[in-house]
């Protein structure tokens, strides 16, 4: 009878054990639930984020299903009632080796000097399957491909195994469409249109392709050598800033469990590395809230007065991947985002003006380094508008992964470092600055400050659970003392596109929208330790960020004493002329144009 909604289930046997699963489950899914770890290469699934790559192309996951003539790829084969599956018969093992040998026959063997070595899924698979020789290598000629270096990303497609994870990320999750599978046979690779360099594509440098590439085909541009040289140069004062999401992930590179907060060790390590001042990007995040929050309240005031040019909703602008995206895809809306620079760039601008003045160092003798979970920040730091007479506000931006390598190379025993504190004045931050690392965090920080400034009242609670979570698009209404403020949140650029399409069509009912390019926000950034498809790692990092916020004595940006002082001593008011000059920017139309010759 149909009285109750019951899930249709299926019973099957895998490796002699019975299991009952929901209809539609793949053999891979069922096996994983039983603790049977069928090897996979092209397949990747991030639960909770709705991200899955399942081209069924590599065939490393094949299993034997009784009664079927051919072996079946477990990642795309659905469970049948009564099926009898075997995952490690001689036939299966042989097929897996053959698949692996085939992939390796067109793969360079220079693992020793590959940037992915030790962290490469292909290498791990070769180890796991115990591959000792590659038969047939003499016959196959290796395909070669030119290297492509952009400001953020290196593409070394000799190492591409055509898993197409990057293509899925760029097209389906980010809807950027910079990458596509091109050519066929041995020459097949994933590349931008006309196999141009990434630089001449609509790439946003979000780095999500790098974050999922199982091999050394996609990696970040390494700037650690530049940083090492700057530190060694006695004429330079080297200042470092570290982004919020770094402290919640760096520990993973040293064997700690995901979600370990390593703020104190991180500061110690940076001091050991020889940076002259160790500061916190969270300070600049607080500053961003002052500028962006003030802009929000000004626009909101206009909007409530019925001003047509109020430009509501306001969009956050602290994520450079997102900025690149709207410059390419929504140039007609380029006046809608806040003009506030990202925290990284605000920090650079203040370090090389206010702080340089305070310690009496000239701009050209100061080097600002940033430690970021992000690859888009590399490109951002090189934007010409963020430099003065050719001297950039941020000289080098390195990723969490690069910092981990740097620490290891400097013989620092990270796990046993004592905790240390950030230097003053640019190292003091609030809980509001910390949560910038999570999706929803920027807008929560902005709400905390905007509410108190708008209503003149203290918030009775600081945790806005309605703004948190991993849902791709979220919305909430926050009551500003009788005034309902509608807030939208998107992470992942495909989700952002949905909200932007509404804004473009005049359908949006939001007053403010936060966008982060990376799924999960910066904790899932393209420069973070690799998650290898395990979304529980991202959730653990998110929890750690909220924990750090809770531990802070001050949790609203406008109460940061060093921020208050910065305005008093130097900037005047938020959105003052000086603040505008140093802390705000403008955007460009980067959409590809077709010019019609008459």
Partner 1 sequence: MSSIKIELRKEDVDKINEICDSFGNEQSELINVLHKTQEHFGYLPAEIQEAIASKLNIPVAQVYGVVTFYSFFTMTPKGRHPISICMGTACYVRGAEKVLDEFKKELSLQVGQTTPDGKFSLSSLRCVGACGLAPVVLIGEKTYGRVAPDDVQDILKEYQ
Q: Which residues bind partner 1 (CB under 8 A)?
A: 150-151, 171, 176-184, 191-195, 199-205, 324, 328, 379, 588-598
Taking the least distance from each CB to ligand FES, the nearer of 165 and 497 is 165
Q: Tell me the number of residues near ligand SF4 by CB under 6 A.
A: 42
Taking the least distance from each CB to ligand FES, the nearer of 56 and 264 is 56
Classify residue 156 by burial, with Cβ atoms within 10 Å: 0-12, 13-18, 19+.
buried
Longest dimension (CA), the chain: 82
Helix (H, G, I), strand (E, B) or coil at 460: coil
Instruction: Quote the radius of gyration of the chain (alpha carbons, Å).
Output: 25
- Indicate the helix (H) or strand (E) that contains 237: strand 237-242
Annotation marks residue 385 as catalytic? yes
| Binding-site partner at residue 200 among partner 1, ligand SF4, ligand FES, none, CB < 5 to 8 Å by type | partner 1
CB 249 within 8 A of CB 242: no
Annotation marks residue 295 as catalytic? yes
Annotation marks residue 292 as catalytic? yes
Cα–Cα distance for residue pair 27/202, rounded to 1 Å = 37
| Binding-site partner at residue 41 among ligand SF4, ligand FES, partner 1, none, CB < 5 to 8 Å by type | ligand FES
Cα–Cα distance for residue pair 228/501, rounded to 1 Å = 45
| Binding-site partner at residue 378 among ligand SF4, ligand FES, partner 1, none, CB < 5 to 8 Å by type | none
- Tokens 């477990």 belong to which residue? 74
| Binding-site partner at residue 369 among partner 1, ligand SF4, ligand FES, none, CB < 5 to 8 Å by type | none
For position 248 contacting ligand SF4 by CB under 6 A, the verdict is no
Annotation marks residue 133 as catalytic? no
Taking the least distance from each CB to ligand FES, the nearer of 61 and 340 is 61
Member of 38, 46, 162, 404 binding ligand SF4 (CB under 6 A): 162
Taking the least distance from each CB to ligand FES, the nearer of 160 and 394 is 160
Question: What spatial distance separates the first Cα and last Cα of the chain, rounded to whole Å?
Answer: 71
CB of residue 120 to ligand SF4, shortest distance in Å: 10
Per the residue annotation, which of 20, 81, 385, 577 is the catalytic one? 385
Member of 14, 19, 21, 57 binding ligand FES (CB under 6 A): 57
Cα–Cα distance for residue pair 284/279, rounded to 1 Å = 10
What string marks each residue from 525 to 564 as x (binds ligand SF4 by CB under 6 A) or -? x---------------------------------------
- Contacts of residues 92-97 at CB distance under 8 Å and 24 or more positions apart, as own/partner, are 92/62, 92/63, 92/64, 95/59, 95/62, 95/71, 96/39, 96/60, 96/62, 96/129, 97/129, 97/131
Cα–Cα distance for residue pair 427/338, rounded to 1 Å = 25
Taking the least distance from each CB to ligand SF4, the nearer of 131 and 554 is 131
Cα–Cα distance for residue pair 381/401, rounded to 1 Å = 18
Cα–Cα distance for residue pair 324/517, rounded to 1 Å = 10
Cα–Cα distance for residue pair 454/230, rounded to 1 Å = 44
For position 517 contacting ligand FES by CB under 6 A, the verdict is no
Annotation marks residue 522 as catalytic? yes
> ∠ at Cα 37 (35, 38), nearest 5°?
140
Taking the least distance from each CB to partner 1, the nearer of 148 and 466 is 148
Member of 293, 321, 440, 494 binding ligand SF4 (CB under 6 A): 321
CB of residue 198 to ligand SF4, shortest distance in Å: 6
Member of 43, 96, 107, 164 binding ligand SF4 (CB under 6 A): 164
For position 59 contacting ligand FES by CB under 6 A, the verdict is yes
Per the residue annotation, which of 61, 120, 206, 318 is the catalytic one? 318
Per the residue annotation, which of 167, 252, 295, 452 is the catalytic one? 295
Annotation marks residue 338 as catalytic? yes
Per the residue annotation, which of 201, 338, 399, 535 is the catalytic one? 338
CB of residue 196 to partner 1, shortest distance in Å: 9
For position 160 contacting ligand SF4 by CB under 6 A, the verdict is yes
Taking the least distance from each CB to ligand FES, the nearer of 41 and 189 is 41
What string marks each residue from 25 to 54 as x (binds ligand FES by CB under 6 A) or -? ---------------xxxx-----------
Taking the least distance from each CB to ligand SF4, the nearer of 425 and 521 is 521
| Binding-site partner at residue 40 among ligand SF4, ligand FES, partner 1, none, CB < 5 to 8 Å by type | ligand FES
CB of residue 104 to ligand FES, shortest distance in Å: 15
CB atoms within 10 A of CB 424: 12
Enter the tokens of residue 510. Answer: 């939001």
CB 589 within 8 A of CB 334: yes
Enter the tokens of residue 352. Answer: 């090389």
Cα–Cα distance for residue pair 16/32, rounded to 1 Å = 15
Enter the tokens of residue 440. Answer: 């929803």
Annotation marks residue 22 as catalytic? no
For position 533 contacting ligand FES by CB under 6 A, the verdict is no
Of 220, 154, 208, 415, the C-alpha closest to 321 is 208
Q: How far is CA 536 from CA 133, 285, 585, in A?
A: 36, 26, 36
Taking the least distance from each CB to partner 1, the nearer of 218 and 426 is 218
Of 518, 328, 362, the C-alpha closest to 439 is 518
Cα–Cα distance for residue pair 549/432, rounded to 1 Å = 7
Residues from 361 through 390 that contact ligand SF4 (CB under 6 A): 373-374, 376-377
Member of 64, 205, 401, 529 binding ligand SF4 (CB under 6 A): 205
Of 230, 242, 558, 546, the C-alpha closest to 423 is 242
Active site (catalytic) residues: 292, 295, 318, 338, 377, 380, 385, 522
Interface residues with ligand SF4 (CB under 6 A) are: 153, 160-166, 169-170, 174, 176, 178-179, 190, 203-209, 212-215, 217-218, 319-322, 373-374, 376-377, 516-518, 521-522, 525
Residues of this chain that interact with ligand FES (CB under 6 A) are: 40-43, 56-61, 73, 75
């Amino acid at each position: 009878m149909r009285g109750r909604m019951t899930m249709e289930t299926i019973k099957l046997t895998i490796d002699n054990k019975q299991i009952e699963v929901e209809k539609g489950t793949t053999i891979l899914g069922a096996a994983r639930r039983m603790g049977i770890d069928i090897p996979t290469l092209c397949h990747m699934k991030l639960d909770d984020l709705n991200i899955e790559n399942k081209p069924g192309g590599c065939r490393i996951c094949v299993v034997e299903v009784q009664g079927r003539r051919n072996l079946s790829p477990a990642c795309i084969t659905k469970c049948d009632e009564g099926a009898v599956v075997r995952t490690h018969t001689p036939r299966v093992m042989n097929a897996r080796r053959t698949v692996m040998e085939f992939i390796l026959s067109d793969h360079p063997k220079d693992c020793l000097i590959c940037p992915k070595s030790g962290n490469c899924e292909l290498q791990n698979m070769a180890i796991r399957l115990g591959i000792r020789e590659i038969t047939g290598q003499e016959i196959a000629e290796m395909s070669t491909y030119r290297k492509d270096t952009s400001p953020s990303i290196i593409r070394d497609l000799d190492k591409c195994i055509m898993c197409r994870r990057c293509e899925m990320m760029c097209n389906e999750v980010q809807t950027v469409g910079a990458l596509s599978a091109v050519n066929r046979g041995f020459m097949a690779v994933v590349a931008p249109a006309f196999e141009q360099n990434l630089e001449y594509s609509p790439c946003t440098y979000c780095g999500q392709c790098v974050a999922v590439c199982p091999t050394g085909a996609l990696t970040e541009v390494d700037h650690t050598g530049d940083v090492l040289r700057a530190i060694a140069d006695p004429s330079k004062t080297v200042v470092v800033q570290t982004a919020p999401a770094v402290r919640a992930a760096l520990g993973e590179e040293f064997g700690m469990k995901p979600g370990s907060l390593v703020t104190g060790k991180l500061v110690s390590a940076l001091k050991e590395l020889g940076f002259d001042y160790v500061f916190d990007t969270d300070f600049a995040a607080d500053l961003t809230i002052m500028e962006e929050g003030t802009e929000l309240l000004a626009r909101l005031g206009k909007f409530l007065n019925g001003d047509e040019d109020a430009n509501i909703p306001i969009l956050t602008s602290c994520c450079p991947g997102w900025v690149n995206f709207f410059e390419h895809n929504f140039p007609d809306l380029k006046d809608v985002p806040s003009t506030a620079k990202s925290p990284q760039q605000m920090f650079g601008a203040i370090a090389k003006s206010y702080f340089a003045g305070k310690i009496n160092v000239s701009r050209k003798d100061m080097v600002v380094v940033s430690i970021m979970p992000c690859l888009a920040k590399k490109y951002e730091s090189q934007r010409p508008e963020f430099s003065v007479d050719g001297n950039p506000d941020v000289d080098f931006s390195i990723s969490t992964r690069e910092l981990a390598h740097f620490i290891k190379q400097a013989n620092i025993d990270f796990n046993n470092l004592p905790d240390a504190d950030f230097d003053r004045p640019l190292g003091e931050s609030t809980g509001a600055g910390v949560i910038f690392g999570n999706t929803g965090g920027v807008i929560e920080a902005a709400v905390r400050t905007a509410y108190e400034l708008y209503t003149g009242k203290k918030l009775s609670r600081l945790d806005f659970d309605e703004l948190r979570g991993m849902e791709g698009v979220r919305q909430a209404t926050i009551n500003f003392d009788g005034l309902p403020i509608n807030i939208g949140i998107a992470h992942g650029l495909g989700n952002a596109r949905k909200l932007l399409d509404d804004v473009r069509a005049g359908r949006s009912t939001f007053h403010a929208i936060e966008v982060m390019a990376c799924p999960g926000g910066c904790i899932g950034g393209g420069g973070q330790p690799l998650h290898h498809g395990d979304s529980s790692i991202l959730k653990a990092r998110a929890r750690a960020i909220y924990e750090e916020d809770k531990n802070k004595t001050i949790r609203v940006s406008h109460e940061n004493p060093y921020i208050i002082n910065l305005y008093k001593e130097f900037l005047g008011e938020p959105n003052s002329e000086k603040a505008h000059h140093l802390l705000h920017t403008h955007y460009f139309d980067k959409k590809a144009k077709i010019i019609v010759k008459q």
